[in-house]
Amino acid sequence: MRHLHMSLAALGLLAFLAITNPVAAQTSGNASPGSGGPSASAIMESVYNRPKPSDTTALLTMTMVDSKNRERVRSLKQLSASFGTADKKIMEFQSPADVRGTSFMNWSYADTSRSDDQWIYLPALKRVKRISSGGKGDSFMGSDFSYDDLGERHPDKDEHRIIGNDKIGGEECWVIESKPRDSSYSYSRTVSWISKTAPIGFRRDYYDKRDQLLKTLVIQQTQVIDGFLMITQTEMHNVQNDHRTKMSFTSLEVNKGIREELFAERTMTKGL
């Protein structure tokens, strides 16, 4: 059961990142002066504060590929929404068979001093259980994403500086290095490629505590849905063990007026 706690918690955070805050993983950070243009901090703030839908629903498929090209696939339904100072989401596993019907609920708060509230429902045990939201550096669901990768990291938690310019897919980008102010963060630094024409990142490199390149996140597909720029496909590549995790979102809908009452024990047990 606890095996699933960690997995589901991370899955929730991942979906939160990729759907309601699709660019946050690549663009969070804090100020450092650029040369003549906006500061690194201002760029990261603009990405962090970009317009977001108030609620989303989607189907998420996560494909993990190891160095021998063996695949493992996870799929789930999810529901997420923002309510003033709290963001809430529920995710329900569709496959594989041994976790089908398992659901996870996460409430995260604008007040960064507050821990997330998280619950898990395991159909076999027929009980909704409050679980710990700790272990942010752990892998989730055996994927190449960690809790830290999936959460929405506030720009104030890092020091930023522009270290260059680059092009990705013909798009002009700033290359911004972000170093954490808090040494407890999972990485020594990250480097993000941020579009110069839209508040979105296209790539982020993660460096381990020895300052060796560990992982690269690439946004493979975006889609404008009801006026919101949403990430619909991403891939995280762990370059140290050549393991990849691809995430795709389908049936994505936004601003459907999801009621706050839905984020409750009843929805977890009944299913989405």
Partner 1 sequence: MKKPYLRALALFAGLCACLLQLPAENIFFNGYGRTKLGVLISDGSVFLQENTFDTRFSWETGDTTLYANAIIYEENGQPPELNLRELYLQYFGEAFDIRIGKQQVIWGKSDALFITDLVSPKDLSRFLVPDFEELRLAVTGLRINVFAGNHQLDFVWLPLFTPGIQPQADSIWAPKMPFPVTPTFQPALMPELNLSSGEYFLRYGWLGSSVDFSLMGGWFWNDTPAFAVVGKTVTPGLGLTAIEVRKEYYRTGALGYALAATIGPLVLKSEGAYHIGTRYQGDVMTYPEGYTTKNAIQYSVGTDFPILGFNAGVQFVQDIIFDHEAAMVEDETTNMATVLLARSFARETVRLEALAYIGFAAPDALIKPQITWKIRDGMELAAGGWFFLGDSGTFGQYSENNSVFASAKISF
* Smallest distance from partner 1 to CB 24, Å: 22
* Smallest distance from partner 1 to CB 3, Å: 5
The span from the CA of 27 to the CA of 11, in Å, is 20
* Smallest distance from partner 1 to CB 13, Å: 15
Question: Contact, 27 vs 206, CB < 8 A?
Answer: no
Q: Which is nearer to partner 1, 72 or 179 (CB)?
A: 72
Q: Which is nearer to partner 1, 18 or 105 (CB)?
A: 105
* Smallest distance from partner 1 to CB 16, Å: 17
* Smallest distance from partner 1 to CB 70, Å: 9
Question: Contact, 41 vs 155, CB < 8 A?
Answer: yes
What residues line the site for partner 1 (CB under 8 A)?
1-3, 5-7, 64, 66, 72-73, 86, 95-98, 100-101, 107, 109, 115-119, 124-135, 138-139, 141-143, 243, 260-261, 264-266, 270
The span from the CA of 53 to the CA of 38, in Å, is 26
Q: Which is nearer to partner 1, 33 or 142 (CB)?
A: 142
Of 81, 141, 122, nearest to 268 by C-alpha is 122
Q: Which is nearer to partner 1, 48 or 187 (CB)?
A: 187
Q: Which is nearer to partner 1, 94 or 178 (CB)?
A: 94
* Smallest distance from partner 1 to CB 268, Å: 9
Sequence-separated contacts (24+) of 89-97 with Cβ below 8 Å: 89/12, 89/15, 89/16, 89/20, 89/263, 90/262, 90/263, 90/267, 90/268, 90/272, 91/8, 91/11, 91/12, 91/15, 91/60, 92/268, 92/271, 92/272, 93/8, 94/59
The span from the CA of 106 to the CA of 100, in Å, is 18
The span from the CA of 171 to the CA of 251, in Å, is 27
Q: Which is nearer to partner 1, 35 or 113 (CB)?
A: 113
Tokens of 241: 């063990």
**Which 3 state secondary structure label does DSSP give 193?**
strand
